[in-house]
Amino acid sequence: MDDGFLADFIAMTRVPAPLRTAIAAFPGSRIREVSESAFGRPGIIPLWFGESDRETPGFIRDACGRALAEGKTFYTPGRGIPELRQALAEYLTKLHGPQVAVDRITVAASGVSAIMMVMETLVDPGDNVVLAVPLWPNCADSIAMLGAEPRRVALRPNHVGWVLDLDQLFDACDHRTRALFLNSPGNPTGWMMPAEQIAEVLAFCRRKQIWLITDEVYDRIVYGRNTAPSVLDIAGPDDPVIAINSFSKSWCMTGWRLGWVVAPPGYGEALAKVQEFNTSGANTMAQHAGIAALKQGEPFIKEIVEQYGRARDLVVQRLGGMARVRLVRPEAAFYAFFQVDGMNDSLSFAKRLVAETKVGLAPGIAFGPEGEGWLRLCFAASLGKLSEALDRLAPNLS
């Protein structure tokens, strides 16, 4: 590196010595950019982040308190405490049918940490991972951060929902493709991949010997059914399948940073290696709380999904009546992702909206170039709050 370049680089990154180029080049979160533009202003209704406005239920917090009181404050085995892995094996087997054995499960310090670790075990610089987009940005960014290529295949909206063209997905794969990454139910779209498509994708991955990574963090936020179709309904332990999940959404545990990975038994060793250098294992008290969530959490999931279902109806009905809005009804998850007529800079628009209406929404560009022209509203909030937010938004969107 010559000195002039080094000086420019340091000036650009505004740090006193160079960073990794891949990191310096990252734009940072566009959602945070909107929220920071309104930092400290009173009266904001925040619907920009992907989390419920409900606290973690008491029985889960109590389990954490008991673990603390009992002195469970030490490091845990890298892949998680045996009781939590066992509880996950039982929970997943019950949910999906085919047995999910304990040796396939690794506990992670959040869903996002699980995604990063999986990428760290799979991709070399120059490899690619094919993803269905628009998509929560961290999935593609974790691939780019490692010098690999996130290869984007666009979901298309039609009058009933979002559609993934499997021919396009398969055509995007080449000899450097290490994995297909599918997030269903999807953030930000609310797309839910049909079981038949999952079966076709699995058959393709078996044939081509590439990994199928599924991000299933919204699997329980589904309406009129118990869980979303999952590759775990049909895959066995020897399949090239990695299913990522989290406690954040199903049990309102975003702040706890707890997730898990289901993978073939041998893969656990690779995950344990990378986990060692990332977190050396998930938070001990949180792991004990996770057992309570899995064993006693079904009534709570039912309750929040009923609430989100009513919120979805309200938001779809109200946004649907606004002249500039084109909305695809979300099949699952807790987001309304909608296109705004005449808006071509969603970042500026979202900043203006929060300044003028005090309603915080996520700009579609945060989810990749395919999201430009769109906004995302998280409806995991009380009906009163949503109603007020929609009243405030209406003049700008009509």
Figure out which of the listed residues 35, 76, 246, 250 binds ligand PLP, where binding follows CB under 6 A. Answer: 246
Interface characters, 113-142, with ligand PLP (x: CB under 6 A): -----------------------x------
Where does this chain touch ligand PLP (CB under 6 A) — which range of 37-45, 109-117, 190-198, 385-393?
109-117
Provide the 3-class DSSP secondary structure of residue 140.
helix
Minimum gap (Å) between residue 136 Cβ and ligand PLP: 4
Q: Output the smallest distance, CB 342 to ligand PLP, in A.
A: 28
By C-beta, is 117 or 359 nearer to ligand PLP? Answer: 117
Structure token pair of residue 261: 């990975």
Among 46, 80, 111, 190, binds ligand PLP (CB under 6 A): 111
Residue the block writes with tokens 């989810």: 367
Position closest to ligand PLP via CB: 111
Handedness of CA 354, 358, 361, 366 (dihedral sign): positive
Answer for which of 35, 56, 254, 357 binds ligand PLP (CB under 6 A) is 254
Determine the Cα angle at 248 with ends 245 and 249, to 5°: 90
Phi, psi of 357 (to 5 degrees): -115, -15
Return the DSSP state at 330. P
Distance of alpha carbon 20 from the chain centroid:
25
Span 158-197, contacts to ligand PLP by CB under 6 A: 183, 187
Between 132 and 343, CB nearer to ligand PLP = 132
Torsion angle in degrees (nearest 10) through CA of 7, 10, 14, 16: -100
What's the rounded Cα separation, in Å, for the pair 295 and 137? 32
Bridge partners for 261 per DSSP: 106, 244
Name the minimum Å distance from CB 398 to ligand PLP: 29
- Binders of ligand PLP among residues 279 to 298 (CB under 6 A) are none
**Binding-site member from 110, 142, 283, 339 for ligand PLP (CB under 6 A):** 110
Q: Which residues pair with 129 in a beta bridge?
A: 150, 179
How far is residue 381's CA from residue 389's CA, in Å, rounded to a whole number?
A: 10
Enter the tokens of residue 270: 């690779």
64/343 with CB nearer ligand PLP: 64
**What is d(CA 251, CA 25) in angstroms, rounded to the nearest whole number?**
35
Burial tier of 24 (Cβ tally within 10 Å: 0-12, 13-18, 19+): middle
Number of residues that make up the chain: 398
217, 353, 375, 389: residue in contact with ligand PLP (rule CB under 6 A)? 217
Contact range with ligand PLP by CB under 6 A, out of 108-116, 197-205, 280-288, 318-326:
108-116
Q: Which residue, 111 or 368, is less far from ligand PLP as judged by CB?
A: 111
Nearer to ligand PLP, 267 or 335 (CB): 335
Nearest approach in angstroms of CB 14 to ligand PLP is 27
Order of strands, edge to edge, in the sheet holding 362-363? 325-327, 335-340, 374-378, 362-363
Q: Which of 157, 259, 268, 290 is the binder for ligand PLP (CB under 6 A)?
A: 259
Instruction: Identify which of residues 110 and 177 has a Cβ nearer to ligand PLP in the complex.
Output: 110
Q: How far apart are CA 285 and CA 283, in angstroms?
A: 6
Q: How many residues lie near ligand PLP (CB under 6 A)?
A: 13
Residue corresponding to tokens 């650009």: 12
Compose the 32-71 pattern: x for residues touching ligand PLP by CB under 6 A, - for all others: ------------------x---------------------
* Preceding amide of 185 cis, omega within 30: yes
Report CA-CA distances (Å) from 255 to 54, 72, 246, 249: 12, 19, 11, 11
Q: Examine residue 215 and tell whether it contacts ligand PLP (CB under 6 A).
A: yes
- Nearest distance from C-beta of residue 138 to ligand PLP, angstroms: 7
Give 108 or 343: the residue with its C-beta nearer to ligand PLP. 108
Q: Which two tokens stand for residue 199?
A: 């079966």
Binding ligand PLP by CB under 6 A: which of 88, 105, 112, 328?
A: 112
Nearer to ligand PLP, 52 or 110 (CB): 110
Applying CB under 6 A, which residues contact ligand PLP? 50, 110-112, 136, 183, 187, 215, 217, 246, 248, 254, 259
